[in-house]
């Protein structure tokens, strides 16, 4: 999400969609190759990682695209911007590594570790510290300023999707467990939504049913977050079909889900 509440959704094909705060949906950018992670930089540009293209594209607020990175990445998925330095960090699922990208597009290796099992989601806390979740296991990792990864939290029992940071905690999609978890800065994990069974149903806590929740974004000002879910019979069914859901965060650790 950007600071005015627009949501950007990559379709893992060649499109990025934009949904305005009023619910208007339109294609924002096209011509991508495995459109995956999204992040908004300090100037309001959308940075979009293309998994198959091993690239990052910069898309301005008018939807005009220009390449930012065209080499040096390996299956980029999650992408995050350090607000203090404007540096960009990219999770390379295929390469099991994290790359650092300067604002002018210079790529360098930042972190490699045997702990990475397709690093998928990536986020930065309010102090500029970096966190990653793995697609192929249940681990959330913390990365220090020197690129050293260490275990931070065990989330769910299966592979994870993405995460976002809001106020003082993270919200993590448990892709294969069909659930949402909350993780504090102390590493405490709390389940908040979904009961582990795949489905599509609004509700509170265990009454909600989720279907392969993956991408997620925290609202910049309201107590809400947004997720995308697959609504195909399986994630390999083509063409992929997805829906966007809004989660209303209640005080504490509960959340209410309503389809948008």
pLDDT of 161-194, one tens digit each? 999 999 999 999 999 999 999 999 999 999 999 9
The answer to whether residues 121 and 141 touch, using CB atoms and an 8 Å cutoff, is no
The answer to whether residues 141 and 134 touch, using CB atoms and an 8 Å cutoff, is yes
Identify the residue whose tokens are 């925290």.
218
The answer to whether residues 175 and 188 touch, using CB atoms and an 8 Å cutoff, is no
pLDDT for res 241: 79
Share of the chain above pLDDT 90, in %: 87
- Ramachandran quadrant class, 220 (left: phi over 0; alpha: psi -120 to 50; beta: rest): alpha
Each residue's pLDDT tens digit, 94-121: 999 999 999 999 999 999 999 999 999 9
- Ramachandran quadrant class, 154 (left: phi over 0; alpha: psi -120 to 50; beta: rest): beta
pLDDT for res 9: 95
**122-131, 209-218, 245-254: which range is least confident on average?**
245-254
Q: pLDDT band at residue 259, thresholds of 50, 70 and 90?
A: low
Each residue's pLDDT tens digit, 15-63: 999 999 999 999 999 999 999 999 999 999 999 999 999 999 999 999 9
DSSP assignments along the chain, one per residue: --TT--EEEE-SSSEEEEE-TT--EEEEEE--SSEEEEEE-TTSPEEEEETTTTEEEEE-TT--EEEEE-SS-SSEEEEEE-TTT--EEEEETTTTEEEEE-TT--EEEEEE-TT-SSEEEEEE-TTS-EEEEESSSSEEEEE-TTS-EEEEEE-SSS----EEEETTEEEEEETTTTEEEEEETT--EEEEE--SSB--B-EEGGG-BBSSEEEEEE-SSSSEEEEEEE-SSSTTSSS--EEEEEEEEPSSS-EEEEE-
* Maximum alpha-carbon separation in the chain: 47
CA 244 to chain centre: 13
The answer to whether residues 162 and 121 touch, using CB atoms and an 8 Å cutoff, is yes
């Amino acid at each position: 999400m950007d600071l005015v509440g627009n949501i950007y959704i990559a379709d893992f094909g060649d499109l990025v969609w934009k949904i305005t705060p009023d619910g208007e949906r339109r294609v924002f950018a096209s011509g991508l190759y495995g459109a995956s992670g999204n992040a908004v930089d300090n100037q309001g540009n959308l940075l979009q990682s293309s998994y198959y293209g091993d690239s990052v594209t910069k898309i301005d607020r008018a939807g005009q695209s220009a390449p930012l990175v065209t080499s040096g990445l390996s299956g980029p998925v999650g992408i995050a911007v350090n607000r203090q330095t404007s540096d960009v960090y990219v999770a390379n699922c295929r390469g099991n590594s994290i790359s650092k990208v300067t604002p002018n597009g210079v790529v360098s290796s930042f972190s490699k570790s045997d702990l990475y099992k397709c690093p998928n989601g990536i986020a930065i806390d309010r102090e500029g510290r970096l966190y990653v979740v793995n697609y192929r296991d249940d681990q959330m990792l913390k990365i220090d300023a020197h690129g050293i990864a260490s275990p931070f939290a065990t989330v769910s029992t299966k592979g994870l999707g993405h995460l976002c940071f809001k106020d003082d905690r993270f919200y993590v999609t448990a892709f294969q467990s069909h659930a949402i978890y909350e993780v504090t800065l102390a590493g405490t994990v709390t389940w908040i939504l979904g009961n582990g069974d795949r489905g599509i149903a609004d509700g509170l806590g265990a009454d909600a049913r989720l279907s392969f929740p993956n991408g997620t974004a925290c609202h910049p000002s309201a107590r809400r977050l947004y997720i995308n879910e697959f609504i195909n019979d399986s994630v390999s069914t083509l063409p992929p079909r997805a829906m966007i859901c809004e989660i209303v965060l209640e005080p504490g650790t509960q959340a209410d889900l309503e389809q948008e």
